[in-house]
Amino acid sequence: MLQSLSIINYGPILLTLHLATISLAIMFMISMPLAWWLANTKSRLGRVVETLTALPLVLPPSVLGFYLLVFLGKGSFIGETWTSMTGEPLVFTFSGLVIASCIYSLPFVVQPLQAGFEALDKRTIEASLSLGASSLRTFLDVMLPNMRRSLVVASVLGFAHTVGEFGVVLMVGGNIPGETQVISIAIYEHVESIEYEAAHLLSLMLLAFSFVVLLAVYGTQGVKRESTIA
């Protein structure tokens, strides 16, 4: 067993965890205000924004990856602006992977948070505000504690979906060891090189990780049901 583990290159695993952690932090900063607005807006624009946010759920990863490659690549406004500011391109870099991952996994964070905001008791929020609590204090002390399950689900799904990405990150980041070679791409490379043992071990790690993720999500549902019954 130890001999088998020694053939694994842990660089893609560490890079994947690094990518998922940074992407999740950025997605939460974007998703919190966006989910709140989607949960409370009565504007027709809300449906358009909600549809655009959910688009990565139905778009083939190759299609999304291609357009990200176009919009972030050399010659594009975003790509040229980034290069002039940082001195490096966006595509085939870790920074490009972060942007692609945030766009691709955003609905997995926005939708649970939106559901959590929609389920909040508006009377409790209004009572907190009427008693003199600031909007920030109401958000931290009233809203967040009452949507713990949504926060857990958004965190777990957003992180896990980023870990399992393949098509989008391959299109935008390529396969550069130590720079853009995440675990899913490393598995693909092992299979292409007929290194089935290494591919098998990495795949088993992802399989175990996926099982734990689903167990955590369904576990929060069980806790909610038990608290409801009680």
For residue 217, pLDDT over 80 is answered with: no
The enclosing domain of 79 has a CATH number of 1.10.3720.10
d(CA 155, CA 8): 28
Tell me the residue range of the domain where 149 lies.
Answer: 11-184
Type of residue numbered 166: F
What integer pLDDT is reported at residue 1 of this predicted model? Answer: 45
Q: Note the pLDDT tens digit of each residue in 12-47.
A: 999 999 999 999 999 999 999 999 999 999 888 999
Average pLDDT score over residue span 73-98: 91
Please count the residues of the chain: 230
Q: Region 139-157: what's the mean pLDDT?
A: 89
Q: Does residue 189 sit within a domain?
A: no
Q: What pLDDT does 27 receive?
A: 97
Q: How confident is the model at residue 10 (pLDDT cuts 50, 70, 90)?
A: confident
Residue 4's pLDDT band, with cuts at 50, 70 and 90, is low
Distances (CA, A) of 180 to 50, 86, 91, 172: 30, 18, 10, 9
Q: Are 186 and 9 in contact (CB under 8 A)?
A: yes
Question: Per the domain annotation, does 229 fall within a domain?
Answer: no
At residue 230 the predicted structure's pLDDT band, cuts being 50, 70 and 90, is very low
Task: Evaluate whether 181 touches 93 at the Cβ level (below 8 Å).
Answer: no
Look at residue 100 and tell me if it is in a domain: yes
Q: How confident is the model at residue 6 (pLDDT cuts 50, 70, 90)?
A: low
Give the residue from 210, 208, 202 showing the smallest Cα distance to 13: 202
Q: How many other CB atoms are there within 10 angstroms of residue 140's CB atom? A: 12
| 212 domain-assigned | no
Is residue 199 a part of any domain in this protein? no
48 occurs within a structural domain: yes
With a cut of 80, say whether residue 161 has pLDDT above it: yes
Please tell me the distance from the alpha carbon of residue 177 to that of residue 159, in angstroms, as a whole number. 22
Residue 223 lies in a domain: no
Q: Could you tell me the end-to-end alpha-carbon distance of the chain, in angstroms, rounded to an integer?
A: 46
Q: What is the pLDDT of residue 75?
A: 85
- Number of independent structural domains in the chain: 1
Query: Would you say residue 225 lies in a domain?
Result: no
Mean pLDDT (whole number) for 166-195: 91
